Structure 1
Amino acid sequence: MKQRRVLDGGYTLIEMMMVLFILVTMMGIVVVNVKPVQESRQIQQFIQLLTSDLHYAQQYALTERAQVQFKFNNASEQYTIQSGPLRKIKSVNYLEGVHFQEVSTGLVIEYNGNGTIKKGGTIILRTKRESYKFVFLLGKGRFYVEKL
């Protein structure tokens, strides 16, 4: 008869190798599943920053009684908020893989001095995996975001 080699804890070498194999396999599955979740989280944070900046641009226009432009620039991969032709208020770089597509408006949102939008329309934010629609309503300058 063959003798089984028993380690100090009472486990055989084969049992220990099976446990290690299962652990390594499980760790691989967890690591593979974390990356899409992390990317989705970054997109959500970017959308939250974008919506906050849109609200900020509207509030700035209202409090300063000035026209404010919110410009999306895919070539430089950033959006900017500016008041008039010379005063840049804020500039933010896009996340990697983010692209804005105009649908029924240009890639410029203009707020009047009373906080309303000059021209309503839709802009689509595209990523590698998901797309989001930003709809700008005429009237009070409101907008909403929906996942496509």
Structure 2
Amino acid sequence: MISKEDGFTLLESLFVLSVFLIIASVSSILLKSQFLTLEKQQFISQLKADLLYGQQYALSHQVLITVHILPEENFYYLREGYNKGFLIERDIPDTITIMEGTMKLFFSFHPDGNINRFGSFIIMVDEVRYKMTFLIGKGRFYVAKA
């Protein structure tokens, strides 16, 4: 008996490889835009969660928590008092811009949970403008499209 072994030719292998590479490159392009969209949405949620954490930390530990947003350096931090180490330090993505509104980008939560100043600042995500507003009284805040 004579057995005949068949295999793929070089041309067939190159064709399959090129189809695979085309599909992989198209999917990576589509995933990159999804990643950027999720990163922008996640930043506002993370900022809100960090501010709530800072407020709750001030209440539970009876300390002053300072919040400083540095848009020029693309990061913000929360710190216990003025001279202690960082409680939270996060980067701001390059696609997001934070600007002062009626409120400075440096404020603090008192040990009773109140904020030392009230007002709002602007968060620009691409062409969408959000306003983060801090209310007078108990330090409550919310984010809305402006």
TM-score band by shorter chain is 0.7 to 0.9
TM-score by length of 1: 0.74
- Distance across 2 between alignment mates of 1:38 and 1:69: 31
Deviation at residue 36 of structure 1 after TM alignment: 4.6
Q: Contact 1:136/1:143 (CA < 8 Å) preserved in 2?
A: yes
Letter in 1 for 2:99: Q
Provide the residue aligned with 1:120 in structure 2: 118
TM, length-normalised to structure 2: 0.74
SS of equivalent to 1:139: coil
Aligned to 1:93: 91
Q: Secondary structure at the match of 1:114?
A: coil
Percent of paired sites with the same residue: 28
**Amino acid in the other structure paired with 1:62:** L
Letter in 2 for 1:124: I
Which of structure 1's runs of 4+ aligned residues deviate more than 4 A?
30-37
In 1, the alpha carbon distance for the partners of 2:121 and 2:62 equals 25
RMSD: 2.1
2:82 is the counterpart of 1:82 = no
The residue that corresponds to 2:6 in the other structure is none
Look up the SS of the partner of 1:39 in the other structure. helix
Give the length in aligned residue pairs. Answer: 123
* Worse overlay, 30-39 or 60-69: 30-39
- SS at structure 2 position matched to 1:91: strand
Q: Tell me which moved more, 48-57 or 83-92.
A: 83-92
Partner Cα distance (1:66, 1:31) in 2: 47
Gap runs ≥5 in structure 1: 1-23
- Gap runs ≥5 in structure 2: 1-21
SS of the equivalent of 1:69 reads: strand
